[in-house]
């Protein structure tokens, strides 16, 4: 985890500085983007395969052994578990995460405070009600981008978003270039 650095030898000119009030959907997007980055694709594939096998097994047993009512109920349950496994990664889990993120945003006052983020060539400064610190860009574990925002992470404790609604095209391009150079493989752009 990156630790905040409070002093630097020389103050350079700010390259991109934004100040904004976070919106609920942007917070939900940060949660979804972070979970998408951390998701294990092999686990999702295995879960889908298991769901498909369960569904087909239940269907096969129903077609070949339709004699007893208990068997029909059991095989229908197997098919339902298979459908849930198939839908878990793509539908159910994202729906639960979105719901939890909306709930956290509504209950938390910290998420609704104004944030000012200034990004320099080698570091970023964050100012909000709870934090006034600077972080070297090289120490960030990951920087994510999608069509709506940039997500900057300094570990599990510190995560910030820069919504693209507050950036013009030149600022977004400069951030993209700076993060790809400074963070290298830790900068991921989702389509």
153-184 per-position pLDDT tens digit: 887 778 889 999 999 999 999 999 999 888 88
Are 179 and 150 a contacting pair, CB within 8 Å? yes
Residue 144 pairs in a beta bridge with 151, 188
Cβ-Cβ contacts under 8 Å for 161 (sequence gap 6 or more): 22, 26, 27, 29, 30, 149, 150, 151, 152
Higher-confidence position of 113 and 152: 152
Are 149 and 27 a contacting pair, CB within 8 Å? no
Are 116 and 17 a contacting pair, CB within 8 Å? yes
CA distance 162 to 78: 45
pLDDT confidence band for 14 (50 / 70 / 90): low
pLDDT beyond 70 at 146: yes
Give the DSSP H/E element, type plus range, for residue 19.
strand 16-20
Token output for 46? 């295995």
pTM of the model: 0.76
pLDDT beyond 90 at 94: yes
Token output for 94? 């994202």
Token output for 116? 């000012």
Token output for 23? 């919106």
CA distance 117 to 171: 13
Residue 162 pairs in a beta bridge with 150
Tell me: the pLDDT tens digits for 38-85?
888 899 999 999 999 999 999 988 888 777 888 888 899 999 999 999
Are 54 and 16 a contacting pair, CB within 8 Å? no
Find, among 71, 72, 91, the residue nearest to 83 by Cα: 91
């Amino acid at each position: 985890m990156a630790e905040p650095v409070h002093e630097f030898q020389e103050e350079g000119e700010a390259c991109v500085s934004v100040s904004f009030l976070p919106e609920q959907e942007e917070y939900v997007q940060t949660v979804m983007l972070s979970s998408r980055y951390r998701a294990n694709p092999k686990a999702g594939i295995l879960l889908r395969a298991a769901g498909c096998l369960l569904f087909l097994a239940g269907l096969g047993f129903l077609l070949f052994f339709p004699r007893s009512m208990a068997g029909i109920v059991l095989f229908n349950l197997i098919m339902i578990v298979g459908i849930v496994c198939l839908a878990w990664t793509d539908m159910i889990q994202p729906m639960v995460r979105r719901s939890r993120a909306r709930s956290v945003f509504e209950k938390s006052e910290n998420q609704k405070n104004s944030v000012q983020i200034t990004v320099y060539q080698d570091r970023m400064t964050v100012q909000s009600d709870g934090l006034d610190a600077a972080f070297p860009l090289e120490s960030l574990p990951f920087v994510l981008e999608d069509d709506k925002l940039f997500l900057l992470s300094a570990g599990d404790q510190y995560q910030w978003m820069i919504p693209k609604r507050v950036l013009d095209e030149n600022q977004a391009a400069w951030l993209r270039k700076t993060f790809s150079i400074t963070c290298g493989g830790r900068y991921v752009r989702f389509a």
